[in-house]
Amino acid sequence: MDVSVEHLVYVREDGHTVARMSAEGVPDFIASGRALTGIQPGEALRLAGSWGEHPRHGRHFAVDGCERVAPATVRAIRVYLGSGLIRGIGPRLAHAIVSHFGEATLEVIDAEPERLREVVNIGPARQAQIARAWEEQKEIAALMAVLQGFGVSPMLAAKIYQVYGADSGEVLASDPYRLIGQVRGIAFGTADRIALRSGVPEDSPERIGAAVLDTLETAGARDGHCYLPLNVLVGRAAELVDQDREPVRRAVDALRAERRVVVEASPDDPDQTVVYAKHVHGREMGLTAHLTRLCRAPSALPVRTWPEDPGLHEDQRAAVAMALTSTVSVLTGGPGCGKSHTVKAVAAAVRAAGGTVTLTAPTGRAAKRLSELTGLPAMTVHRMLARRPDPEPGTLFTETPSQADLVVVDEASMLDLHLATRLAAAVPSGSHLLIVGDGDQLPSIAPGNVLADLLRVEAVPRTRLTHVFRQAEESGIIQVAHRIRAGRVPDLPGRRGFWFEEVDDPGRVAERVVHLATVAIPRKQNVGPDQVQVLCPMRRGATGTAEIGRMIQERLNPAGEGKEEHWSGASVFRTGDRVMSVRNNYDKGVFNGTTGTVTGIVRQDRLLEVRTDEGESVQYGFGELDELTHAYAVSVHRSQGSEYPFVVAPIVAEAGGVMLRRRLLYTLVTRARSWVVLVGQREALETAVNRLGHRRNTGLARRLALSLRD
């Protein structure tokens, strides 16, 4: 049966798709199945399957097979061109083109694209754009067919084409392992499936080498490790490719000879051998070198004496003295201990002496919060490194902010190895670097554990603030945070800013979290739902960010007549959606953690328009939407550096594994300013308080200690 895709109703994570279809002589109907993975509105399909009745959708077609075909009727051609599948053609232009060429429209675009200039409003530039987009769409469609033959999701075709263009087919055929790390969404499993179905032998050295590199990358991305012990690496890689350990050892030796990995003695045990990916090892060595340079450099700070602030506690005064006399120092402490006020005092002393100060943080939200707490301008580390500070009259920003006499980086627990290396490299010798953070919070998402490592190096001056100020002491949130930090379960159900609501069933937990976030708390506190943030320990599952975020989206921003939307994988983006950037994009000036609102969907140009909370307008191509996620529910990791008036979070055993642990719960609770409400199982809460996370494999502390000793 030949059909046109009218509208996507729902797409699951596994690709199962529900869509409304139209066909000649048949009323519009619902079709569903995994065979529909990757379809888009406007496409013409040939379906195989069977009719049945669905309790929700009524007459329903269960799809067993799906083939993309050229639309055959004038109406189908008009829908296809007007859907935005071909960049440069919107609904109006599609109507004009089809009205002019009729059923011959697609033949004209394909074989005689210059004839498009016969249509009003199509000049040479627009005609060339349409021709390029048509060829690109043809090549992507061919790639989709190839991927389906390999048993791989066709949704990856556009991403592959974006990287390799016309060479995509050749890459798939000759070296599919190149896709790993170069194409977002393709890990070893996907590339390996393509390779094996292309005839690559299971014991191929290229296959085993790719498995070794992927095992290292996975250890960094999933667990934050910078290296793996050789025996652990060999075991995991051998299991991944179902091979003996000896071929894997040979693959490690080959990668070492090619200088793609570094093999050396363990930083903690000279008798143990460890393996780094080359780029990670280089960053660890680079950060060690730059921190050593900064520590050994004579101070160029103009401050010689500084006024005593009678409002400071004695450990805060010690921290000020440390920051002004040490070229590298660390300030740490829990919530309510006055870290921000101490930073303000340090900055005031430098300014009073005529020096310059740059305040930074890893994310935009963290920088904004630092600015609010200190009363001084702050920027993201990325902006500092890009040297694009957008100075305002009266601010302390210099044209090259890394040249400041004092550089402060807040929320340093979020610093990964890569960002910390770039930061240290940008600070000139003689300037002071003050690293501020809570060592009990979650470490960075990416590899490394920079703040914790620095706190392990005795030669690096540090001050831990322990005095909790009276105003903070009265906060139930801060009381609970300090109990969790000490390994004690909070008094339940709680009071004064903290509340635990016991619900055992994970499905009911999700429903209750959504109700609290969208109805109960806004109504009781007389605030908008945008003042309530849902934080989740994990992404998947009934209480993960994906499912709870989808439920909140349907409550706050459901599909509606005339409301634009676009499906990207299993996510639907609508105008009005709250979104968050999950990657740094220096070309757009957007960084990981930037939040905003979808303001428009331009199908003709295949673009999504976002207005960030900083007031900047940013455009994302449909092929770039994996750089965005919905912000209705976010992971605790992605919430770092942010603070919200009200926080609601599920706490259930299904989060299991490494997710339910003390640092995660501590970080979660400290994200709330007024109230935090936990919903879930008492046993899961107790598990989170009592379980310590794994230690990350890093060599920075040992390297820096040895370097500063020499």
Tell me the binding residues for ATP: 336-340
Binding residues: 336-340
Question: What is the token pair recorded at 633?
Answer: 């529910």
Pairing of strands 357-361, 378-380: parallel
Query: What is the distance between the alpha carbons of residues 250 and 673, in angstroms, rounded to a whole number?
Result: 54
> Taking CA 440 as the corner, what is the angle to CA 439 and CA 446, rounded to the nearest 5 degrees?
70
Name the residue among 219, 220, 226, 698 with its Cα closest to residue 457.
Answer: 698
Strand ranges of the sheet holding 607-612, from the earlier edge strand across to the other edge: 617-621, 607-612, 595-602, 578-581, 628-630
Query: What is the distance between the alpha carbons of residues 79 and 5, in angstroms, rounded to a whole number?
Result: 9
- Burial of residue 52 (number of CB atoms within 10 Å: 0-12, 13-18, 19+): exposed
- Burial of residue 587 (number of CB atoms within 10 Å: 0-12, 13-18, 19+): exposed
Residue 566 DSSP SS3: strand
Name the residue among 610, 588, 590, 612 with its Cα closest to residue 601.
Answer: 610
Length of the chain: 710
On whether the CB atoms of residues 240 and 211 are closer than 8 A, the answer is yes
Residue 424 DSSP SS3: helix
Question: What is the token pair recorded at 671?
Answer: 């994200």
Query: What is the distance between the alpha carbons of residues 436 and 340, in angstroms, rounded to a whole number?
Result: 9
Name the residue among 546, 520, 556 with its Cα closest to residue 646.
Answer: 520
- Burial of residue 304 (number of CB atoms within 10 Å: 0-12, 13-18, 19+): exposed
Pairing of strands 17-23, 273-277: unpaired
C-alpha distances in angstroms, 442 versus 414, 476, 631, 663? Answer: 8, 21, 20, 5
Query: What is the distance between the alpha carbons of residues 596 and 580, in angstroms, rounded to a whole number?
Result: 6
Q: Tabulate helix, strand, coil % of the chain (nearest 5).
A: 45, 20, 35
Crossing angle, helix 230-241 and helix 205-223, to 10 degrees? Answer: 120
Q: Which helix (H) or strand (E) holds 51?
A: strand 44-54
- Burial of residue 452 (number of CB atoms within 10 Å: 0-12, 13-18, 19+): buried
Render 341-390 in DSSP notation, one character per residue. HHHHHHHHHHHHTT--EEEEESSHHHHHHHHHHHSS-EEEHHHHHHT---
What is the DSSP secondary structure assignment for residue 519, as one 8-state letter? Answer: I
Query: What is the distance between the alpha carbons of residues 329 and 668, in angstroms, rounded to a whole number?
Result: 27
SS3 readout for 281-340: HHHHHHHHHHHHHHHHCCCCCCCCCCCCCCCCCHHHHHHHHHHHHCCEEEEEECCCCCHH
Q: Report the phi/psi class of residue 494: left, alpha or beta, with left for phi > 0 and alpha for psi in -120 to 50.
A: left
Query: What is the distance between the alpha carbons of residues 365 and 368, in angstroms, rounded to a whole number?
Result: 5
Residue owning tokens 């008094």: 491
On whether the CB atoms of residues 347 and 355 are closer than 8 A, the answer is no
> Taking CA 254 as the corner, what is the angle to CA 252 and CA 258, rounded to the nearest 5 degrees?
115
- Burial of residue 419 (number of CB atoms within 10 Å: 0-12, 13-18, 19+): buried
